[in-house]
Structure 1
Amino acid sequence: MNNKQIMIFDTTLRDGQQCPGAGMSFENNIEYARLAANAQVDILEAGFPSASKLDFMIVNTIAKEVTNTNSSPIIAALCQLKKEQFEITIRSLEPAISNKKARLHTYLPVDPQLMDALGNYGKNFSKITKDVFELIKMAHHEGVEIEFSPEGYSRMGENFDFVTDVIRAAVEAGAKIINCPDTIGGACKLQGEEYFVEKMKIHSRIIEKEFPNKNIIWSTHCHNDFGLALENSMNAVFEGPATQIEGCFNGIGERAGNVSLEQCILYLKTFGKNLKYKETFYTNFKTETLQYISDFVSLNMLQRQTHWPITGENAAKHSSGGHTNAIIKNPLSYQPFDPREIGNEITFQFGPFSGGNHAKDIIEKYGYICNDDEKANIAQYIKNEYADRRKGITDRELIQTYIKFRNPIKMEFINYTKKAFESNLELSGEFFGNKKIFEFKTMESGSAFTSLYNAIVQYIPDLKIEKYTSQSLSKGINSMSHSKTIIKDANKKIFTGIGEDLDIEISALKSLIDATNQCYIQNNYIQK
């Protein structure tokens, strides 16, 4: 089988920033260019330098900074078919020209509807073709590589012969790359002979026959208005002559966006070797950088959908109990690719459809014990605690609830009364596995705190009170009391419990209970 490299043309900085709300600062443009260069994109379309002084500076700076190695991408800049824009664009690319890394990308509408709407071209096809030839020839002589795009190629209709003439003129003048865009994202394979990939095949044969000594690169630039950008781009590669794909990371771009480059790259990696075509299609892109670049675009340009393919937050996150059980045993059981390939990891979010294995996996990851015979009960307890949280809970919330489940003392309420020579303490809830109301009575010489401590040491021998303090948090009779109890166990481990209540005695009891619960869990439910 023959190996065929598919070049990645990244237009995130140009077409991506034409998406409303996706513009970035000068510094972020430069930072993105560095990321793309490190990831080994083949061509980086840095912008539209004639649009403004800032756009010129962005393209010029990128051309200076990322074209000084053999592995550097070619820096492309877009311009209309106008002499003054050609001149500005060439100047912006000057730092890359000496390194033979500069590409001028120009375009011309060929879609009849688009030509009528723009109103700048009319039907003077011979003049248009002449302008294409002369301007491209001029730029070619300046040392820049030329890419020519017949804009609206997929809707050329009756203009096929005209499109043939302008492509012919561009190639004769020195254009090396012919890009055939589905500008309005309306192409579909069901169009049959009118499908743009079929037209590309015809044009590539014509050019190959007329210019046998020119090695023309055919490219495709697909928009996603019908959600077909990936399919159309891949058809142009597998069924057509395209060896270059143009798109944006996270599929950003005008209207519904461009084809998603991360989808194209992983598609080619996964399906590129195909016996039907007797060729292996591949890219040189570093797939392990995909997640980082996608995250950068989501943070600095346009927020990515949570369920976005390949790199979305949920693309490698699972919640379903059945899925989780299988993935714990085999990470690829519910994943079409290993997320580590793109710099990501499989994660789980506990939710209403999660099961015991999911809870057990998280609990054990945090260093706690969860036995097989109790995992279902623990999972159900956690779900009951968050019955209204249909979107799931965080790992931290799960662990906090697990600890609550493990606490040996679970108090529903504490009632404390004091008379002249006697104090009464009632604790309702669970006390070391027993569920009932506990009553403690103390005479004048004792205290509720001491009574509770004496009851606790029946279950945790050698537990010592190291220190106890209590103070008011504010002035007045309604001030909240803040108590702190420090205890030491038989292994000389220290635990500090906190309690707050309007009643100073009850706040002290709560702090003792908190310290005791910590001690018990530490000594009984932490993995050794």
Structure 2
Amino acid sequence: MSSKQVYILDTTLRDGQQSPGAGMSFEDNLQYAELAHKLRIDILEAGFPSASNTDFAIVNQISKNMAAINSAMRISALCQLREEQVIRTMEALAPSLAIGKARIHIYVPVDPELMPASLGKFAEDKPAIITTTYRLIKMMADAGFEVEFSPEGYSRQRENFDFVTDLIRNAVKAGATTINCPDTIGGASQYQGEEYFVHKMAKHKQIIETEFPDKDIIWSMHCHNDFGTALDNSLYGVFSGVARQIEGCINGVGERAGNVSLEQCIMVIRQFGHGAHLPEKYHTNIDISHLKEISDFIAERMLPRQPHSPVVGKNSASHTSGGHINAILKNPLAYQPFDPRDIGSEITFVFGPLSGSNHAQQIIHKFKYRCDDNEKVAVTQSIKDFYADRRKGVTDEELLQAYKYYRSPIKLEHLTYAKEDGGKTRVTFHGEFFAEKDLVIDYQGRGSALSALNKAVNNHLANTTVVDYNSHSKGSTVDALCISSIIIDVNGNRYNGQAEDEDIEISALKAFIDAVNNAYIETNFRV
């Protein structure tokens, strides 16, 4: 059985930017169009040229840019049922018209509640609405534009079925080739039974096919997500054999609760569009390898994306459960419905309280440090203890920090120093010091507490010398902290350490300990 293409109309730049706070800059609009071209979007609804001079300029420049590269993507723009808007929209799309890739999307409300609120007294003259629809669509079609017609509020047309029939009939007669039947208020559901708008679409489609057997009309879904039903409604329209086009936005942005999420539609069609239970097979021509890229762009430039967003969310390919990670390390698809690499993403692991030793070992090995099988359980537990209060997980870099603490030969709890008469310096150390614990270090002669500590370290890590160190205050007040940096040499190799304290001498001692720990770890545990 052959597969039918489902056309994807991306209205992120139009309906998406009608969401409060979602507007993007002029340049961002142009850059988004480039990404949509890479994604192989079929139709890009670039904006509403009559809304403002800036909106006109955006649509016109996108039209010019896509015409310059002869993009296969059609450029569409929205307008109301007003002649001056039609003319303005035609002007904005002129570059796309020159290469046969221009579409105008014109709409008029049919919802009995919406009509008077939107059209005023004109709503009472239905014959005039039908006549105007025919005249303006014919004007656009005769000029060479593709025309898409939307009876706005279609899902709530109620007693206006016959009126909507006449509108669609005249739109098709005038030259419209796409009929979009929007769930404008996002209130439709299959639970409505016969009042469900997709069933009404099927009836209208049958009427038009009977009256215009020679015309190939594309029926389109445009669903809002106020009840969370936009995806279900959009796909029901396609999989029931009624619609061949889906309109929506990347990341599901849009008015109120948003439009249907295009990345979800695309991936569901890819996953289930060839099901044996379907009357026909379906596919899109989208290059899904760019889905994550375009989703990230919208998340950064328009509206934030929830971490748990399906398909493209940060958590959609991230795992923390030990059992899951063990399986994924053996088979990347063990706990994934599709390979994230297909959409330009990748599987990631977040180490947390439920993570296992294989996960910790994998991260440690990634940084090229040792973690043998016979010690990985102990290492993992020490990392969890180190971050006992971090229930939401830690980054890989933070995990490595805890690993290094576990490997450190010196684990300082408290440190004091004193200079006695006769040139003697005493350092009192509390904590683990290689194989010792809680020791007192005496140093006789010229030098400071740092000399005393250096002497003690050489008993365990021979040939350790201080090459350079400096200290400076953190801030300009009298009680500012002191930051110390130190470089040591161990058998010809140099290692850095850094620390801070209220006392300049203590900060230097802590920095020295940090450098010694680094030297020991790099020498003994670096792969």
| TM-score, normalised relative to structure 1 | 0.93
Q: Which segment is superposed worse, 165-174 or 66-75? A: 66-75
* Shift in CA distance, 70/506, structure 1 to aligned 2, threshold 3 Å: closer
* Shift in CA distance, 482/64, structure 1 to aligned 2, threshold 3 Å: closer
Query: Which residue is 2:43 aligned to?
Result: 43
Query: Which residue is 2:272 aligned to?
Result: 271
- 1:268-307 equivalences under 5 Å are 268-307=269-308
The question of whether the paired residues in 1 share the 8 Å contact of 2:382 and 2:406 is answered with: yes
* Alpha-carbon displacement from aligned partner over 1:416-453 (angstroms, at most 9, x marks no partner): 2332234433211112244x211223445787545544
What CA RMSD, in Å, does the superposition of the two structures yield over aligned residues? Answer: 2.3
Q: Which segment is superposed worse, 130-139 or 249-258? A: 130-139
Provide the secondary structure at the position in 2 that maps to 1:274.
coil
Supply the distance in 2 between the matched residues of 1:310 and 1:150 (Cα, whole angstroms).
Answer: 31
Supply the distance in 1 between the matched residues of 2:472 and 2:132 (Cα, whole angstroms).
Answer: 86
Query: Which residue is 2:6 aligned to?
Result: 6
* Shift in CA distance, 44/443, structure 1 to aligned 2, threshold 3 Å: closer
* Shift in CA distance, 384/162, structure 1 to aligned 2, threshold 3 Å: same
Supply the distance in 2 between the matched residues of 1:205 and 1:229 (Cα, whole angstroms).
Answer: 24
Query: Which residue is 2:75 aligned to?
Result: 75
Q: Which segment is superposed worse, 417-426 or 442-451? A: 442-451
* Shift in CA distance, 193/428, structure 1 to aligned 2, threshold 3 Å: same
Supply the distance in 2 between the matched residues of 1:330 and 1:444 (Cα, whole angstroms).
Answer: 63
Supply the distance in 1 between the matched residues of 2:291 and 2:482 (Cα, whole angstroms).
Answer: 54
What displacement does 1:380 show? Answer: 2.5
The question of whether the paired residues in 2 share the 8 Å contact of 1:468 and 1:483 is answered with: no
Q: Which segment is superposed worse, 380-389 or 211-220? A: 380-389
Which AA in structure 1 matches 2:61?
A: T
Supply the distance in 1 between the matched residues of 2:297 and 2:182 (Cα, whole angstroms).
Answer: 26
Q: Which segment is superposed worse, 301-310 or 254-263? A: 301-310
Supply the distance in 2 between the matched residues of 1:337 and 1:482 (Cα, whole angstroms).
Answer: 49
What displacement does 1:479 show? Answer: 8.4
The question of whether the paired residues in 2 share the 8 Å contact of 1:185 and 1:223 is answered with: yes
Supply the distance in 1 between the matched residues of 2:200 and 2:479 (Cα, whole angstroms).
Answer: 83
Supply the distance in 1 between the matched residues of 2:297 and 2:307 (Cα, whole angstroms).
Answer: 15
What displacement does 1:499 show? Answer: 5.2
What displacement does 1:472 show? Answer: 6.5
Provide the secondary structure at the position in 1 that maps to 2:392.
coil
- The runs of 5 or more residues in structure 2 that have no matched partner are none
Query: Which residue is 1:94 aligned to?
Result: 94
What displacement does 1:199 show? Answer: 1.1
**1:53 to 2:65 alignment:** no
Supply the distance in 1 between the matched residues of 2:57 and 2:471 (Cα, whole angstroms).
Answer: 63
Provide the secondary structure at the position in 2 that maps to 1:8.
strand
* Shift in CA distance, 70/209, structure 1 to aligned 2, threshold 3 Å: farther
Supply the distance in 1 between the matched residues of 2:90 and 2:450 (Cα, whole angstroms).
Answer: 84
- 1:205-244 equivalences under 5 Å are 205-244=206-245
* Shift in CA distance, 489/110, structure 1 to aligned 2, threshold 3 Å: same
Query: Which residue is 2:518 aligned to?
Result: 518
Query: Which residue is 2:358 aligned to?
Result: 357
What displacement does 1:369 show? Answer: 1.3
Q: Which segment is superposed worse, 284-293 or 309-318? A: 309-318
The size of the alignment, in residue pairs, is: 524
Supply the distance in 2 between the matched residues of 1:471 and 1:203 (Cα, whole angstroms).
Answer: 81
The question of whether the paired residues in 2 share the 8 Å contact of 1:321 and 1:354 is answered with: yes
The question of whether the paired residues in 2 share the 8 Å contact of 1:200 and 1:240 is answered with: no
* Alpha-carbon displacement from aligned partner over 1:372-410 (angstroms, at most 9, x marks no partner): 232232222222222222322222222112111111111
The question of whether the paired residues in 2 share the 8 Å contact of 1:45 and 1:77 is answered with: yes
**1:149 to 2:167 alignment:** no
**1:107 to 2:107 alignment:** yes
What displacement does 1:524 show? Answer: 0.9
Q: Which segment is superposed worse, 392-401 or 1-10? A: 392-401
Supply the distance in 2 between the matched residues of 1:82 and 1:480 (Cα, whole angstroms).
Answer: 69
Supply the distance in 2 between the matched residues of 1:513 and 1:329 (Cα, whole angstroms).
Answer: 40
Q: Which segment is superposed worse, 343-352 or 379-388? A: 379-388
What displacement does 1:308 show? Answer: 1.2
Q: Give percent identity, aligned residues only.
A: 54
Which AA in structure 2 matches 1:520?
A: Y
* Alpha-carbon displacement from aligned partner over 1:111-146 (angstroms, at most 9, x marks no partner): 112123333433432222121111111111111111
The question of whether the paired residues in 2 share the 8 Å contact of 1:107 and 1:151 is answered with: yes
* Shift in CA distance, 420/231, structure 1 to aligned 2, threshold 3 Å: same
* Alpha-carbon displacement from aligned partner over 1:76-114 (angstroms, at most 9, x marks no partner): 111111111111111111111121111111111111121
Which AA in structure 1 matches 2:48?
A: F
What displacement does 1:507 show? Answer: 4.5
- 1:104-503 equivalences under 5 Å are 104-118=104-118, 119-421=120-422, 422-434=424-436, 436-444=437-445, 449-461=450-462, 463-465=463-465, 467-469=467-469, 473=473, 485-490=486-491, 492-498=492-498, 501=501
What displacement does 1:473 show? Answer: 4.6
What displacement does 1:175 show? Answer: 0.6
Q: Which segment is superposed worse, 234-243 or 375-384? A: 375-384
Q: Which segment is superposed worse, 501-510 or 247-256? A: 501-510
Provide the secondary structure at the position in 1 that maps to 2:314.
coil
What displacement does 1:153 show? Answer: 1.0
* Shift in CA distance, 247/382, structure 1 to aligned 2, threshold 3 Å: same
The question of whether the paired residues in 2 share the 8 Å contact of 1:136 and 1:170 is answered with: yes
Query: Which residue is 1:30 aligned to?
Result: 30
* Shift in CA distance, 13/519, structure 1 to aligned 2, threshold 3 Å: same
- The runs of 5 or more residues in structure 1 that have no matched partner are none
Supply the distance in 2 between the matched residues of 1:268 and 1:105 (Cα, whole angstroms).
Answer: 25
What displacement does 1:329 show? Answer: 2.0
Supply the distance in 1 between the matched residues of 2:172 and 2:481 (Cα, whole angstroms).
Answer: 83
Query: Which residue is 2:65 aligned to?
Result: 65
Supply the distance in 2 between the matched residues of 1:102 and 1:486 (Cα, whole angstroms).
Answer: 66
Supply the distance in 1 between the matched residues of 2:186 and 2:123 (Cα, whole angstroms).
Answer: 24
Provide the secondary structure at the position in 1 that maps to 2:114.
helix
Q: Which segment is superposed worse, 34-43 or 415-424? A: 415-424
* Shift in CA distance, 477/267, structure 1 to aligned 2, threshold 3 Å: closer
Provide the secondary structure at the position in 2 that maps to 1:315.
helix
Supply the distance in 2 between the matched residues of 1:203 and 1:481 (Cα, whole angstroms).
Answer: 78
Which AA in structure 2 matches 1:189?
A: Q
| TM-score, normalised relative to structure 2 | 0.93
Supply the distance in 1 between the matched residues of 2:138 and 2:395 (Cα, whole angstroms).
Answer: 61
* Shift in CA distance, 300/478, structure 1 to aligned 2, threshold 3 Å: closer
